[in-house]
Amino acid sequence: MDKAVWLRQPKVRKLLFSVGLSWLFDAMDVGIISFIAAALAVEWGLGAQQIGLLTAINSIGMAVGAVVAGSLADRYGRRAVLLWTLLIFSIASGLSVLVASFALLCVLRFAAGFGLGGELPVASTLVSESVPAAERGRAVVLLESFWAAGWIVAALIAFFVIPVYGWRAAFVIGALPALYALYLRTSIQDSPRFTASGAGGTLTFAERMQSLWSNRHRSSTMMLWILWFTVVFSYYGMFLWLPTVMVMKGFNLVKSFEYVLIMTLAQLPGYFTAAYFIEKYGRKFVLVTYLLLTAASAIWFGTAESAGTLLAAGICLSFFNLGAWGGMYAYTPELYPTAVRSTGVGSAASFGRLGGVIGPYLVGMLVAGGVSMAIIFIIFFVAIVIGAMAVLFLGRETKGTDPDTDRRLFETAGENRNIR
């Protein structure tokens, strides 16, 4: 069969693009806050630690949202939770237009983060369960590519909107996905796997969490939690600080936004190459290769000084890091059966978000303490290498496997009856 046939099927194409647009809006919101933080540092006189706190609060919300929404999606279905989380982050983003204090902005960023963190693992689970096994990995990586598109939109907003209309206008744009949620309500359905399994009524939250740490799942869960923590720690620590780092290296705010926009464009080919390699060579190959090349790019970026070198290193950093993200989202749902899949993805994402809390806040503390960017990016280098080694030594290849028939996912006959 032609590898593109599945994508030409109307239902699959509609699902991928419908969920992909919600993913785009998520990325746009996360990206916008990094640019807004740089603008607020100028307008409100925020220090490095306050910028770090603002981005950390967003990640705390994402951590809580991921575990809550992941469990609810295994109970009530992927579609319903996807819609509610999209509404939550859109409303919180819209209300941010009205804030006049740093404290209130932090509260709303927690709420927006809750919606964002909840939507992402549920969306990837929905797509993973709705596509044929032979193309499942490629489909989820293509879904992830909408993240790059969202960051590009955020960078365009930062470059063209914020300098002219101010940062509040960016939050107005961030509220628009609430209208899109109304469209999604009628355009997508729950995944065939979830509907057929009747998984929602069989297990409690405690039983699902216990299953993740059963003998058969423990190694995968441990590997995923390490992987997610190190990837999210390094990604949010590096990318949410990119505009500010460029300003610190001597570029003005507008020029900083321009360079970050160029770097962001490199995310798309990073995703597309990962989408190709993930079905050709497997999940572990993509993750380990792209993570190690991300680590090398981090060292390069941290030590770069000239505009040309910074741009080249930033392009490589975006290319390989976001390709690894695509591989991670494709890999994670494949390690669990249907009844605990969203819980497994959500819990790994939630633990990873702790890294998203620590990463940007740690950068703020280190910058405030006078630590050089070279040292800071060495920390990210080490973290990324640890994630790559976790996949290499603890992970198992899932290319072409069916999570609901792979007996390695089940511990006992009794568990087989509940987790189909």
Domains, the chain, ranges and CATH? 10-185+205-418 (1.20.1250.20)
Query: Is the pLDDT at 416 greater than 50, yes or no?
Result: no
The answer to whether 291 and 391 have CB atoms below 8 angstroms apart is yes
- Dihedral sign from CA coordinates of 172, 177, 178, 182: positive
How is residue 243 written in tokens? 């505009």
Query: Is the pLDDT at 2 greater than 70, yes or no?
Result: no
pLDDT of residue 310: 83
d(CA 233, CA 352): 7
Query: Is the pLDDT at 342 greater than 50, yes or no?
Result: yes
CB atoms within 10 A of CB 137: 29
pLDDT of residue 420: 34
The structure's pTM equals 0.83
pLDDT tens string 136-169: 888 999 998 898 888 888 878 887 888 888 889 9
pLDDT of residue 253: 58
pLDDT tens string 42-82: 888 888 778 778 877 888 898 999 999 999 999 888 988 99
pLDDT tens string 297-334: 999 998 887 878 888 998 999 999 999 999 999 999 99
Cβ-based neighbours of 349, under 8 Å, separated by 6 or more: 62, 66, 67, 70, 117, 120, 121, 228, 332
259 or 231: which carries more pLDDT confidence? 231
d(CA 82, CA 115): 9
